[in-house]
């Protein structure tokens, strides 16, 4: 056993682990972060995938990262620069129609009206409804969910939450119920008539969600992806100059400045238990490190039944962790390009406005639903729904002059292939399906590819410890949200083991690069230390 005893060890140096470590260290606690890879950052890292070409490895866009956390950690002082993407969404069709949306309301109205005057009028009402609900969600992000069956503090927290909900009024309650219980398709079909508009808006409901846009509860995922803020603009999406790794590099610098120790190439194999309490960890080398508390930023299945034996946990908790729904259905690809994609629906020479947007291959909800059905039946979609970014259009640090990088976030690719097939055998065929799909919308795309880097769900699990390739550490269904994330009775970041806390995306408010699970968990740990 190491002679040093830490107040807290954080297992996993992803962004939430770094955030948790910062707040603990800032409060004067002795903190150690242990990361199994050679670099901190988890899924939010920037890597060179071809000589001269760099891009974000898994996560790829900024919006959900809390401005409060950026300010408190001094991330800008540590080199972080975030810019707002010039345009928001570009959705083409093979037959020449397109939708291009940005931040200008007049331009947006005109773009929508070209497809449907009715939908242009409905768009503002739809956004107003989202804004009202998202304002409620934003107020909940930094709060510890009340535990079912908890004490006085939990009763008070539940009462305060009830007061917040009551402020919505009857119409707001109805909308809230709709978004938590209905499918995204139900809501979008009831609001809009144009297929392309519905497909573009519906993409947020499937991002990282292995389910159809017509799956009940998928409407909540729409809300989850719009509660963000960039540079003071609510709902905006941005880009970190240098890629997502710039965020976690700044976080690591802030944590070290606050006094935290960080070790890489330090995989943890066991949480040390003494008299039913967490008292340190064991590394793969056999080294034992003592601590008063341990915080886990890893997937709950890797923690419970992995680092912590199941016989140290309550049987009901074990069963529920075994049933934890995990799997995003995501294939992630980076490509090096000799030129930007030239879309049939909006031809261009060189970089154009629409190349600064999220380029969506999702011409209708039926298209997305078919992609999901294919994945369920065949293992992956032959015509996947795709969100493509080309950050080199506004960040020249990522590619050689005149060339570009693009990230492709692709749905749907089953967490496990049918008939015991391996993603190792299917990787290139699946990647070809993605490229073929984009090329139907932008015919020059295939010929412009210099190199590609492909991460299947299995690759995401092996490289980044994302079980089932789940970018959120667990699906965002109603049964896995708020006080029930990860399990009712343990939604307050405390595990069933004394001194063992959870600070990752499997806790409230869920996945995405937010920082809230790390900050919230640190607050609860400090209450107990």
- In the chain, the number of structural domains is 3
Buried b (16+ CB within 10 A) or exposed e, 370-409: bbbebbbeebbbeebbbbbbbbbbbbeebbeeebbbbbbb
Residue 119 contacts residue 112 (beta carbons within 8 Å): yes
33: enclosing H helix or E strand = strand 31-34
Q: Are residues 319 and 332 in the same domain?
A: no
Domain-embedded: residue 89:
no
Domain-embedded: residue 439:
yes
* CA pair distance 272, 420, nearest whole angstrom: 35
Q: Are residues 227 and 250 in the same domain?
A: no
Domain of residue 169 covers 114-234
Domain-embedded: residue 98:
no
Q: Are residues 271 and 403 in the same domain?
A: no
Closest CA to 203 of 344, 341, 357: 357
Q: Are residues 461 and 475 in the same domain?
A: no
User: For residue 280, is it left (φ>0), alpha (ψ between -120 and 50) or beta?
Assistant: left
Q: Which of 234, 251, 269 is the last residue of a domain?
A: 234
Q: Are residues 272 and 301 in the same domain?
A: yes
Q: Are residues 34 and 138 in the same domain?
A: no
Domain-embedded: residue 301:
yes
Domain-embedded: residue 462:
yes
Going residue by residue through the chain (529 aa), what tens digit of pLDDT does each one get? 555 699 999 999 999 999 999 999 999 999 999 999 999 999 999 999 999 999 999 998 898 899 999 999 999 999 999 999 989 999 999 889 999 999 899 999 999 999 999 999 999 999 888 888 888 888 888 999 887 655 546 444 544 455 566 666 777 777 778 888 899 999 999 999 999 999 999 999 998 889 999 999 898 888 876 777 777 787 788 999 999 999 999 999 999 999 999 999 999 999 999 999 999 999 999 999 999 999 999 999 999 999 999 999 999 999 999 999 998 899 999 999 999 999 999 999 899 999 999 999 999 999 999 999 999 999 999 999 999 999 999 999 999 999 999 999 999 999 999 998 999 999 999 999 999 999 999 999 999 999 999 999 999 999 999 999 999 999 988 889 889 999 999 999 999 999 999 999 999 999 899 999 999 999 999 999 9
Q: Are residues 63 and 127 in the same domain?
A: no
Whose tokens are 């988890």? That residue is: 42
Domain-embedded: residue 151:
yes
Buried b (16+ CB within 10 A) or exposed e, 516-529: bbbbbbbbbbbeee
How many other CB atoms are found less than 10 A from the CB of residue 163?
8
Domain-embedded: residue 387:
yes
295: enclosing H helix or E strand = strand 288-296
Domain-embedded: residue 94:
no
pLDDT at 230: 79
CATH code where residue 29 lies: 3.50.50.60
Residue 474 contacts residue 448 (beta carbons within 8 Å): no
DSSP state string for 177-192? HHHHHS-HHHHHHHH-
DSSP state string for 411-450? EEE-SS-GGG--HHHHHHHHHHHHHHHHHHHSTTHHHHEE
| Both tokens assigned to 416 | 């496990």
Whose tokens are 């709902």? That residue is: 235
Q: Are residues 300 and 348 in the same domain?
A: no
Residue 517 contacts residue 492 (beta carbons within 8 Å): no
Distances, alpha carbon 3 to alpha carbons 288, 289, 290, 342, 501, in Å = 9, 8, 8, 61, 23
CATH code where residue 427 lies: 3.90.660
* CA pair distance 307, 298, nearest whole angstrom: 10
| Partners of 218 in the β-ladder | none
pLDDT at 321: 94
320: enclosing H helix or E strand = helix 315-322
Q: Are residues 335 and 429 in the same domain?
A: yes
pLDDT at 338: 98
pLDDT at 155: 46
Q: Are residues 198 and 313 in the same domain?
A: no
What's CA 140's distance to the chain center, in Å? 18
| Both tokens assigned to 464 | 């980044």
Closest CA to 391 of 85, 24, 18, 26: 85
Q: Which of 466, 487, 520 is the last residue of a domain?
A: 466
Q: Are residues 208 and 165 in the same domain?
A: yes
pLDDT at 158: 47
Q: Which of 423, 447, 466 is the last residue of a domain?
A: 466
Q: Are residues 348 and 252 in the same domain?
A: no
Q: In residues, how long is the chain?
A: 529
DSSP state string for 96-141? S-EEEE-S-HHHHHHHHHTT-HHHHHHHHHHHHHHHHHHHHHHHHH
Residue 496 neighbours by CB under 8 Å, 6+ apart: 313, 314, 317, 490
Q: Which is it for strands 238-240 and 82-84: parallel, antiparallel or unpaired? A: antiparallel
| Both tokens assigned to 488 | 């009712």
């Amino acid at each position: 056993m190491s002679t040093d005893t830490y107040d807290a060890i954080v297992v996993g140096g992803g962004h939430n682990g770094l955030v948790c470590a910062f707040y603990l260290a800032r409060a004067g606690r002795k903190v150690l972060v242990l990361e199994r890879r050679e670099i901190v950052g988890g899924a939010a890292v920037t890597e060179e995938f071809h000589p001269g070409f760099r891009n974000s490895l898994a996560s790829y866009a900024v919006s959900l990262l809390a401005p409060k956390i950026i300010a408190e950690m001094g991330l800008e002082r540590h080199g972080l620069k975030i810019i707002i993407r010039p345009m928001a969404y570009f959705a083409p069709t093979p037959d020449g129609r397109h939708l291009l949306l940005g931040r200008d309301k007049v331009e947006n109205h005109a773009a929508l009206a070209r497809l449907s005057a009715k939908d242009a009028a409905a768009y503002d009402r739809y956004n107003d409804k989202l804004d009202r609900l998202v304002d409620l969600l934003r107020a909940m992000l930094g709060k510890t969910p009340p535990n079912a069956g908890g004490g006085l503090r939990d009763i008070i927290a539940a009462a305060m939450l009830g007061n917040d909900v009551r402020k919505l009024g009857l119409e707001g309650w109805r909308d809230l119920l709709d978004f938590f219980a209905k499918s995204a398709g139900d809501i979008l079909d009831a609001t809009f008539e144009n297929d392309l508009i519905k497909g573009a808006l519906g993409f947020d409901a499937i991002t990282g969600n292995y389910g159809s846009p017509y799956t009940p509860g998928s409407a909540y995922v729409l809300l989850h992806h719009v509660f963000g803020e960039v540079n003071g603009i609510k709902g905006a999406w941005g880009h970190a100059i240098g890629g997502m790794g710039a965020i976690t590099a700044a976080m690591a610098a802030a944590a070290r400045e606050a006094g935290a120790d960080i070790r890489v190439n330090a995989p943890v194999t066991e949480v040390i238990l003494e008299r039913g309490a967490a008292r340190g960890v064991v590394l793969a080398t056999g080294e034992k490190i003592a601590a008063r508390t341990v915080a886990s930023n890893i997937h709950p299945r890797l923690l419970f039944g992995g680092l912590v034996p199941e016989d140290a946990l309550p049987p009901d908790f074990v069963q529920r962790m075994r049933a934890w729904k995990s799997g995003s259905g995501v294939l992630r690809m980076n490509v090096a390009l000799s030129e930007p994609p030239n879309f049939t629906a909006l031809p261009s020479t060189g970089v154009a406005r629409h190349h600064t947007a999220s380029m969506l291959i999702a011409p209708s909800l039926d298209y997305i639903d078919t992609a999901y059905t294919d994945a369920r039946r065949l293992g992956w979609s032959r015509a996947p729904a795709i969100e493509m970014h080309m950050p080199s259009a506004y960040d020249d640090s990522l590619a050689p002059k005149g060339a570009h990088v693009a990230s492709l976030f692709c749905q749907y690719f089953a967490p496990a292939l049918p008939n015991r097939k391996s993603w190792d055998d299917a990787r290139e065929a699946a990647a070809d399906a993605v490229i073929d799909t984009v090329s139907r919308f932008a015919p020059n795309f295939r010929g412009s590819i210099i190199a590609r880097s492909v991460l299947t769900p299995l690759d995401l699990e092996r490289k980044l410890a994302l079980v089932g390739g789940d970018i959120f550490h667990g699906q965002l269904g109603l049964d896995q949200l708020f006080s029930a994330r990860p399990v009712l009775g343990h939604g307050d970041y405390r595990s069933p083991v004394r001194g063992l806390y959870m600070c990752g995306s499997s806790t409230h408010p869920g996945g995405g690069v937010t920082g809230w699970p790390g900050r919230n968990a640190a607050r609860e740990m400090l209450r107990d230390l």
